[in-house]
Amino acid sequence: MTSQITNQMTHEMTGQMTGQMTGQMTGQMTGQMTGQMTGQMTGPFSLPATTHSYLDRAAESLREAVVAPDVPTRYACAHVAALRAAAALLAARARPAGSGTRRRPQKNAWVLLAEVAPELTEWATFFAAGAGKRAAAEAGSTRAVTEREADDLVRDADRFLGVVEQALGLVPHVASPQLCVLADLRRQPARSSRVRAG
């Protein structure tokens, strides 16, 4: 009798404890998953004002690149547009370090972008490689970049801005019609000269 009662009580207590532990673990996991999903969800109403500001400035730099009268300015403006688009994403996703953490060496925007948004690593690497040419173009060098490179960068910066907007949960902007014909317009004189030479 005593052993039966003991076994019954043990079984009941084990069942209760298992149920409590399962409920607690389920609640904790649900809370963690909800918190992670909430942190990952972004949209126009949850984005900081700084993000919207950088996106507007990126679009403005793109417009300046399209109408730029010279190649260095076109290249520099396109690269700045991409940089501002990256800053918009960083402003939305990057988390400031706590006051108690040790200060880390400062990183450039492209390194931070690859860390915060690994899916954009290829974009970050691409634009980081053009930073030197942009600096030379801004310094007034007419040999830093070619006309083709400038035109290509304008289109790449425009596509990158759309990728960033989509990553932020926004509807990607509609590319300017001028971007679609930019390269052809720039190359028309070269074609004409070849035709005359033939």
Neighbours of 79 (CB within 10 A): 26
In a domain, 29, yes or no: no
For tokens 């994403």, name the residue: 89
Report the pLDDT value the prediction gives residue 173, as an integer from 0 to 100. 86
In a domain, 153, yes or no: yes
Distance CA(148)–CA(41), nearest Å, equals 39
Encode 11-48: b = buried (16+ Cβ within 10 Å), e = exposed: eeeeeeeeeeeeeeeeeeeeeeeeeeeeeeebeeeebe
Residue 4 lies in a domain: no
pLDDT at 38: 36
Q: Is 39 within a domain?
A: no
Give domain status of residue 154, yes or no. Answer: yes
CA dist 137 and 83 (Å) reads 15
The pTM is what?
0.67
* Digit-coded pLDDT (tens) for 11-47: 554 444 444 434 443 344 334 333 333 344 455 558 9
Domain containing residue 71: 49-93+108-197
pLDDT tens digits, 93-108: 876 655 555 666 678 9
Tens digit of pLDDT for each residue in 143-187? 999 999 999 999 999 999 999 999 999 998 887 776 655 545 554
Domains contained in the chain, number: 1
- Is 122 among the domain residues? yes
Residue 85 lies in a domain: yes
Per-residue pLDDT tens digits for 120-148: 999 999 999 999 999 999 998 999 999 99
The CATH number that applies at residue 136 is 1.20.120
Residue 186 in any domain: the answer is: yes
Tell me: the pLDDT tens digits for 49-82?
Answer: 999 999 999 999 999 999 999 999 999 999 999 9
